[in-house]
Amino acid sequence: MKRLRISAGLLLLASISPTLAQAQIADLFGEPTLVSDIAPGPQSSSPREFARTKTGAIFTTGDPADPITPRVLWTTDGTAGGTLSIQPEGLRLDRILTTPGEIHWLQMRDDEDRLSLWSTDGTPAGTLELARNLEVIAPRGFDADRGLFYFTANETDSPPDAEPWVSDGTAAGTHLLKDLAPGPDAASTSPFVHFRGRDYFIGPAPDAVGFGLWRTDGTSAGTVLVERGFRRVWAAGSSLYLLGVEGNNRLILYRSDGTAAGTTRLQDFGFRDIETFGTEVELFGDLGAGRVGWRIDNLEIPSSLWVTDGTPDTAKKLMDLPTFFASTPTRFGPWAYFVADDGTTGFELWRTDGTPAGTQVAVELCPGSCDGLLSIQPTVVAGDRLFLTSARDPETGFEPIISDGTPAGTVALGDICPGPCSTRPEFGLFDLPGLVLFTALDGPNSPRSLWVTDLTPEGTAAITSFPGRSLAVLPLGDSLLLGAEDGAFGDELWRLDLPDLDPLPPVGPWRSGPALPGFEVQVRISADGFSRAGVLEPDCISETLCFSGAVPGRAEVFVRVVGPKPNGRLWPTLVKFSTSTVEIWIRQLSSGDVRYYRLAGARLGFDELPGLFDREGFAP
C-alpha cells in the first residue's frame, strides 16, 4: 500500500475497505521469517523475556524453570547479523530487572554463587558490571525522566541489612540511597512514586519511630523525610495521596503536594487491623473530572469502592464489592469502565462517572448471577471501542468481544477456541491503525496463535500457525519479534513484518448528499482524549458536505471533491475550522477506492487551522 507524506503533519493514504474478510485480513501479513536458529536443528533455544532497547531488544534463551540449563542473555535488531549473545563470561543470568526505559538491570551469579548487579543497553560495550556482592530483593520504581532505577538490596558480604538503592545504569551512579534503618535492621519501603520531578516513598522514620513520607532526587543528600506518620503513598491526578495512622489504628486518607505544609486530611476510615493495612485501602484509579477512586477492603464487611474529589470529608461510596475485587478502571469517553461483581450480577462490565448514581452495570453479558466476564480481565481501549473477554454464550466459553460500552454495541468477535472451551487473549500487543493484534489459544489442546482483528467478527483471523504451544511476542518498530516453534527448527527467534495500513473509519453509516455525487464521507473529530463522529449538517455551501463536532449546527469541517483538474484527477479539498484533530475518509462509489486524511489539531501556543487538497485524489 502506498503512503504519501505531506507537510503540516498531514497523512494522505490509500485505504483498504472498512470491513475485511478473514482471508483479506490474513493476506495483509506475510509469513514469519526465521531470524536466527540459535540452537541448530530441532533443538530449542526458547527465546523469552523480550525487552526493548535503543537498538532493538534483549531476550534470554534457556528455560527459566529448568535449573540445569543455563539462561543466556542475547541482543537482536531483528536480523541474523544483529543477533548475538551479550552474556558476561563466567557468569550465569539469575534474572532480568526490566524497566520502561532503554536500559535494563541484571542479577548475575558466578560459579561460587556470588551475586552481582549489571546493566545493559543491548550492546556488548553497554553491558556493565555495577556492583559485586549485591542481592536485589525487590524493584521499587523507575524514574523515566532521569533514568533512575530504585530497588531494595542487601550487600551479601555484610550482615543482612536490606536498604533502598538507586542506579542510573553506571557503576558510579549505583549506590545506597539512604541507610534508613542503621545497624542490622532491614528498611521496609513502599514502591517509589514519581511526582512533580521528584520521587516519593514510605520508609522508616529516623530513630525507628514509625514510618514517614520521604522525598528524593536520587542522591543521598537529596533524600529527606517530609513528614512522619504515613504508611502508604500514591500519585493520582495532580496530587499525592497518603494513608496515615492515628491513635489506635485509625486509618486516615490525606492529599498532598509533596510538602508537610501542603498535606491535607481528607477522610477518616475508622479503626482497621494495622497488620493488614497494606490491603485495607488501595488506589482504584482516575475517574475523571478531578475525582479519584479507592478500594477499601475489610474482612468483616463487604469491600467497597469510594470516590473523592480531593477535598476534606467529601468521599462517597460508589458500590459494595463482596468479592473483594474490581479491575483497574479504563477511561473511555466520559466514563470509567471496570469489571466487578456486586454480589448479584456476577462479574460484569460496570461504568462510573465518579458519582454513586452514575455507577452502574454497563453491559450484563450473562443475565443473573452468572459471570459474564473473567474476573481478572482488564478492559482495553482498542480504536474507538473496548476490547475484553466474555462468557455471554455458555456454548462458546470465554471469548473476545468488542464494546462501545452499551449492550447494543457489544459484539462477540467469534468462537476462537471452537466449542465450549475458552481462550484468554493477551490484548494490545500491537495497535496498528484500525487493527489490533493479540494472542489466543485456537483450541483446548492447540497452540497459541497470533490473531488480528479490525474490530469486526468478519475481520478477525489468525495470522500465524506455529504448531508449538509457546509464543512470546514483542513489538519492534515495524515488525514483531516472536519466540515460536515451527516444528522444524524448534522454539527459535522469528520476525513478522507488519503492513503499512490506514486507520479504519468509525463504526456507523457513511454520509452522502447531492452536493457531492458519487462519493461518501466519514469524519471523526478528536480532542482531549475524546473522539466523536462528525455530524452531517443540512446547510452548507455549494458542492460541499459540512460536518459539525462539538456544537450541533455549527459546521467545523468542509469536504469537497473537484475536477477533473489539468492532470486528469479529481481533487479532494478539505478545510476545517476547529483546533481539534480531524480525520476524514472519502470513498468513491464507482471504484470503491478510499482515501484517508488527517488534519492535525492546533499545537499549544500556535494559531493554525490546516487544510489541504490532494492533487492525486481519484480517477474520474
Tell me the three cell numbers of residue 38: 540459535
Alpha carbon separation from 373 to 285, 309, 353, 411, 422 (Å, rounded): 20, 30, 21, 14, 12
Tell me the three cell numbers of residue 241: 495521596
Q: Are 478 and 458 in contact (CB under 8 A)?
A: no
Provide the number of structural domains found in the chain: 2
Residue the block writes with cell 487491623 = 273
pLDDT score, position 10: 26
On whether residue 223 sits in a domain, the answer given is no
Alpha carbon separation from 372 to 343, 359, 397, 423 (Å, rounded): 13, 18, 10, 14
On whether residue 11 sits in a domain, the answer given is yes
320-364 pLDDT, tens digit per residue, is 888 767 888 888 878 889 998 888 888 899 999 989 999 999 999
- HSE-up of residue 214 (Cα within 13 Å, Cβ side): 28
Tell me the three cell numbers of residue 321: 464489592
Compute the chain's Rg from CA coordinates: 28
- Which residues neighbour 480 within 8 Å (Cβ) at sequence distance 6 or greater? 429, 430, 437, 450, 473, 474, 495, 496, 498
C-alpha–C-alpha distance, residues 585 and 10, integer Å: 13
C-alpha–C-alpha distance, residues 556 and 551, integer Å: 9
- Map residue 215 onto helix, strand or coil: strand
3-state DSSP percent of the chain in helix, strand and coil, to 5:
0, 45, 50
C-alpha–C-alpha distance, residues 492 and 86, integer Å: 17
Q: Which contiguous run of DSSP H or E holds residue 285?
A: strand 281-288
The number of residues in the chain equals 620
C-alpha–C-alpha distance, residues 499 and 482, integer Å: 16
pLDDT score, position 185: 58
Domain end position, chosen among 345, 378, 411 = 378
Domain end position, chosen among 349, 378, 407 = 378
Tell me the three cell numbers of residue 324: 473483594
Using CB atoms within 10 Å of the CB of residue 145, give its burial: 0 to 12 exposed, 13 to 18 middle, 19+ buried. Answer: exposed
Q: In terms of Cα–Cα distance, which of 96, 114, 94 is closest to 105?
A: 96
On whether residue 568 sits in a domain, the answer given is yes
Alpha carbon separation from 545 to 238, 411, 435, 595, 617 (Å, rounded): 42, 31, 28, 16, 17
pLDDT score, position 477: 82
On whether residue 478 sits in a domain, the answer given is no
The single-letter DSSP state of residue 23 is H
Residue the block writes with cell 524497566 = 99
Q: Phi, psi (5° rounding) for residue 486?
A: -100, 5
pLDDT score, position 184: 54
Q: Phi, psi (5° rounding) for residue 591?
A: -110, -20
pLDDT score, position 565: 92
DSSP conformation letters of 463-532: ----SSS-EEEEEETTEEEEEEE-SSS-EEEEEEEPP--PPPPPSS--B--TTSTTEEEEEEEEETTEEE
C-alpha–C-alpha distance, residues 403 and 122, integer Å: 40
C-alpha–C-alpha distance, residues 339 and 114, integer Å: 45
Domain end position, chosen among 378, 409, 433 = 378
Residue the block writes with cell 492533487 = 615
pLDDT score, position 275: 54
On whether residue 251 sits in a domain, the answer given is yes
Low-confidence ranges of the chain (pLDDT < 70): 1-23, 63-69, 159-160, 183-187, 207-209, 248, 271-280, 298-301, 324, 375-378, 383, 391-394, 424-434, 442-446, 469, 504, 507, 528-530
Q: In terms of Cα–Cα distance, which of 261, 268, 279, 224 is closest to 246?
A: 268
On whether residue 208 sits in a domain, the answer given is no
DSSP conformation letters of 126-189: TEEEEEESEEEEEEEEEETTTTEEEEEEEETTSS---EEEEE-SSSTTEEE---SS-SS-----
Question: Domain range for residue 565?
Answer: 3-16+503-613
According to DSSP, the residues that pair with 33 across neighbouring strands are: 495
On whether residue 452 sits in a domain, the answer given is no
On whether residue 470 sits in a domain, the answer given is no
pLDDT score, position 460: 85
Residue the block writes with cell 493476506 = 27
Q: How many helices (H) and strands (E) does the chain have?
A: 1, 51
- Which residues neighbour 592 within 8 Å (Cβ) at sequence distance 6 or greater? 17
Q: Are 322 and 342 in contact (CB under 8 A)?
A: yes
Alpha carbon separation from 7 to 10, 12, 388, 560, 611 (Å, rounded): 6, 10, 38, 20, 10
Q: Which contiguous run of DSSP H or E holds residue 22?
A: helix 22-27
- Which residues neighbour 207 within 8 Å (Cβ) at sequence distance 6 or greater? none
